[in-house]
Amino acid sequence: MARGRRRGWLRPLVLSLLAKRPMNGMELMEEIYRLTGGLWRPSPGSIYPTLAELSDEGFISRRDDGRYELTERGLQLAQTLYMPLASALDPLVMLDNALTDLEEQLSESPTMLKDKLQRLLEARRRLDAIIEKLKGQAGP
């Protein structure tokens, strides 16, 4: 297996996240965990070798504060290849996709959704609370 390929999605995720802001290895692990809804947290044994590879290849550099940032070459790669991946992991895109799936389930098999009704109502309450907080922050 070629070097770096065994980590699959890690390289594109790292480049996409670093396109947003410089981060250290721990910050990257936490951000990936958050973006995947807690489904995946890369280990230090995968994140740091990936950062070393990307640095060796000239896509990222390590700053004095220990955070990594994209080089010009890395920024070009992230913009052309990996930024679509980051947008696919955007929480609002994921929510929109989930709602579309629920709408399809409703039309195909509404009885399946009855079991999920309480979770849906709780999600609605949480979304309403977020919307109210955002309205309060936006001002008049």
| Coil/strand/helix, residue 56 | helix
The larger pLDDT score, comparing residue 71 to residue 1, is at 71
Has residue 75 got a pLDDT over 70?
yes
pLDDT digits (tens, 9 = 90+) for 5-26: 334 789 988 998 999 899 999 9
Residue 83 is predicted with a pLDDT of: 62
Whether pLDDT at 54 is above 80: yes
Residue 87 has pLDDT above 90, yes or no: no
Residue 66 has pLDDT above 50, yes or no: yes
Q: How far apart are CA 102 and CA 121, in angstroms?
A: 13
Report the share of the chain in percent with pLDDT over 90: 35
Residue 1 has pLDDT above 50, yes or no: no
> Mean per-residue pLDDT for 43-57?
96
- pLDDT tens track for 95-137: 777 777 777 777 777 777 777 777 788 888 888 888 888 888 8
* pLDDT score of 38: 83
106, two tokens: 């409703």
pLDDT at position 120 is: 80
Pseudo-torsion of CA 124, 114, 105, 37, nearest 10°? 50
Angle between helices 44-56 and 10-20 (to 10 degrees): 70
Directed axis angle between helix 44-56 and helix 25-35, to 10°?
110
